[in-house]
Structure 1
Amino acid sequence: MSNPLLEVKDLKKHYPIKGSSLFGSKHVLKAVDGVSFSIEKGETFGLVGESGCGKSTVGRSIIRLHDITSGNIYLDGADISTLNEKSLKKYRRRMQAVFQDPYASLNPTMNVFELISEPMKIHGNPSVAEQKETILHLLDQVGLKKDHLYRYPHEFSGGQRQRVSIARALSVKPDFILCDEPISALDVSVQAQVINMLEDIQAETGVTYLFIAHDLSMVRHISDRIGVMYLGNIVEIGSSEELYSNPLHPYTQALLSAIPEPDPTIEKRERIILQGEVPSPLHSPSGCKFRTRCPHAMTICQEVVPEMMEVETGHQVACHLFSK
């Protein structure tokens, strides 16, 4: 990466859990256990994986909604991983978020004008006239009308509420937006509209996205590069087209084989059914965490944690099948 806007190095987020023994021993839930990646300015980086793999924890840790256990988070070269709330304020404006459930993230007692103007007032001191002018432009940008200005969240559909959330995130002209499952709660007919709108906004403003989602087809459509997570670790990173056309990690191959192909004339991938259950992050397997479900597991997988290596230009994988 030449000049990344965001760089994450060995990010860990562990939650200590008290045990039930008489001696009060503690277990540690390793939600994120050593994640590293970077995102260039104006790029969309997709993050995929099964529920509970740590995707949302990564996103929320990056924008410092969670304090991290260890590691570094760099925004434009500045390490924000250990900053206190006061020092973080100037970076809060540059990093915004759009969450999965817009109804839960919008204050039901505030109308659209109040919702979108709130971050503007926190990070600046615009006049009411300036606020209104900016908000009307944002509403037009996200496909809403000026008639919606004084309506409340309960008066909108789910797709419209998410558009309000996106307008609010854009109100302070951020450099980076965390899109944490932003379309999974929406009707299928609305999802494509929201994705296309996000792409148009990126083309117009140059904003950078971290896009977290379950829908692998949609992630492929919007992302420039994709990271695949399993049990707190990233196991593969590559460009969108490269990852989908040539998945290297056995877990990535299994994930992609599950994508339904609506066109019957296109040859389908062979379906890979993973055996066993996802291990508990409280008791992760030794060595490679995927080894208990991997059809290619070897002795070394039990003993040594695989390191991320670049197999092809821009295509990295953490798997002993590719060890030299």
Structure 2
Amino acid sequence: MTKSQQKLIEVNNLKKYFPLKSSIISKNKQVVKAVDDISFHIYKGETFGLVGESGCGKSTLGRTINRLYDPTSGEILFDGKDIANLSNKELQPYRKRMQMIFQDPYSSLNPYMSVEEIIDEPLEIHTSLSKNERKGIMVDILEKVGLKKEDLEKYPHEFSGGQRQRIGIARALSINPEFILCDEAISALDVSIQAQVINMLEDLQSEMKLTYLFVAHDLSMVRHISDRIGVMYLGKLVEISNSDELYHKPLHPYTQALLSAIPIPDPIKAQNSKREIITGELPSPIEMETGCRFRSRCPFAKPICAEVDPKLKQVDGEHFVACHLY
């Protein structure tokens, strides 16, 4: 269920293109349209899940919203303020309010810094607290993520993968942000550890009134943590819906195929279940043709799909789909 009807993040016609270097063969300037004209919003206090195949642009979308990437065009409204074109100096107050948990808990932590130095860095940059005051916050936040005060003196290599991710979460939470981008935050962890980290994130969200953008490819885990889910395909959002409704009533053929790929733990049910297998050629992310980008792999493609790019349209309540079938 949506926690609030007040929008914290609102994205309007956001684009992020990456230019490619021209070669001897082709001197035309080409671009990869990683995020191509996307619009959606995230309510305060909710978890918005973002799913899709690897390379669909979901991580790029999240990092552009957090302004780790400069957008090519479009609006990024954070609490009503457009931050899309702000300079680094103007972004400083928003850096404190928007944090990120990275995919790889080892490469995101400086191996030459102790846990205390890692967590203290954002506190030193964004607050005017004394060293003792910062130390008190660090001890408190470590306890919240399941670590101990003694761990402050240790270095990243002394911890397991799950513990390192907890350090990354502690760093993100140390300055009390409002919005956190979880970019594949559990994909590098063992399955048993994933559940622990997800439960911890849910507890912290309730306690600290956090808003999450949860980027992942594990559809079953996204369903567990998300209030609403957006499905991405080659730089486009093709469906947005409440979590339960998306899983019980997927509309877009791509969403149906993704959900069909979720493993079924019962071998008998798995054998008798009908699988929607995606076939056909994957379009080039560089030379995008007109029309629907999924049409070359869609079993329901019609002539209009090759001519007109479908736009997200409201089907029912919070359910939106970009497909000519609706």
Please classify the TM superposition score into its range, dividing by the shorter chain length: over 0.9
Letter of the aligned partner of 1:274 in structure 2?
A: I
* Over 3 Å off, 4+ runs: 263-269
1:281 matched residue in structure 2: 285
Deviations 1:73-124 (A, max 9, x none): 0000000000000000000000000000011111111111110010011001
When structure 1 is superposed on structure 2, of 277-286 and 46-55 the one drifting more is 277-286
1:151 matched residue in structure 2: 154
1:36 CA displacement? 1.1
1:22 CA displacement? 6.5
Alignment of 1:109-258 (within 5 A): 109-258=112-261
1:315 aligns with 2:319: yes
1:280 CA displacement? 1.6
Task: Tell whether the 8 Å contact from 1:10 to 1:36 is kept in structure 2 after alignment.
Answer: yes
Q: What CA distance in whole angstroms lies between the structure 2 residues aligned with 1:41 and 1:269?
A: 38
* SS of the residue 2:296 aligns to: coil
Letter of the aligned partner of 2:300 in structure 1?
A: H
Letter of the aligned partner of 2:143 in structure 1?
A: D
Task: Tell whether the 8 Å contact from 2:5 to 2:44 is kept in structure 1 after alignment.
Answer: no
Q: What CA distance in whole angstroms lies between the structure 1 residues aligned with 2:320 and 2:149?
A: 47
1:79 matched residue in structure 2: 82
Task: Tell whether the 8 Å contact from 1:103 to 1:158 is kept in structure 2 after alignment.
Answer: yes
Percent identity of the aligned residues? Answer: 63
Task: Tell whether the 8 Å contact from 1:45 to 1:224 is kept in structure 2 after alignment.
Answer: yes
Deviations 1:283-309 (A, max 9, x none): 223200000000000000000010111
Q: Unpaired segments of 5 or more residues in structure 2?
A: none
Task: Tell whether the 8 Å contact from 1:98 to 1:166 is kept in structure 2 after alignment.
Answer: yes
Q: What CA distance in whole angstroms lies between the structure 2 residues aligned with 1:138 and 1:22?
A: 55
Q: What CA distance in whole angstroms lies between the structure 2 residues aligned with 1:191 and 1:34?
A: 33
Deviations 1:102-161 (A, max 9, x none): 111111111111100100110012111111111111111001111211100000000000
Q: What CA distance in whole angstroms lies between the structure 1 residues aligned with 2:105 and 2:284?
A: 30
1:277 CA displacement? 3.3
Letter of the aligned partner of 2:295 in structure 1?
A: R
Letter of the aligned partner of 2:292 in structure 1?
A: C
Q: What CA distance in whole angstroms lies between the structure 2 residues aligned with 1:211 and 1:23?
A: 38
Cα distance change, pair 23–195 in 1 and its aligned pair in 2 (3 A): closer
1:265 CA displacement? 7.0
2:68 matched residue in structure 1: 65
Deviations 1:222-251 (A, max 9, x none): 000000000000000000000000000000
Equivalences, count: 322
Letter of the aligned partner of 1:281 in structure 2?
A: P
Task: Tell whether the 8 Å contact from 1:48 to 1:226 is kept in structure 2 after alignment.
Answer: yes
Task: Tell whether the 8 Å contact from 1:13 to 1:68 is kept in structure 2 after alignment.
Answer: yes
* SS of the residue 1:292 aligns to: helix
Task: Tell whether the 8 Å contact from 1:254 to 1:272 is kept in structure 2 after alignment.
Answer: yes
Q: What CA distance in whole angstroms lies between the structure 2 residues aligned with 1:23 and 1:95?
A: 40
Q: From 93, 97, 108, give the equivalent of 1:94.
A: 97
Task: Tell whether the 8 Å contact from 2:99 to 2:181 is kept in structure 1 after alignment.
Answer: yes
1:30 aligns with 2:33: yes
1:266 CA displacement? 5.7
Deviations 1:171-201 (A, max 9, x none): 0100000000000000111000000000000
Q: What CA distance in whole angstroms lies between the structure 1 residues aligned with 2:269 and 2:12?
A: 40
Q: What CA distance in whole angstroms lies between the structure 2 residues aligned with 1:23 and 1:100?
A: 35
- CA RMSD, Structure 1 to Structure 2 (Å): 1.4
1:263 CA displacement? 3.5
1:297 aligns with 2:301: yes
Under a length normalisation based on structure 2, what TM-score does the superposition of the two structures give?
Answer: 0.96
Q: What CA distance in whole angstroms lies between the structure 2 residues aligned with 1:305 and 1:155?
A: 51
Letter of the aligned partner of 1:33 in structure 2?
A: D
Q: Unpaired segments of 5 or more residues in structure 1?
A: none
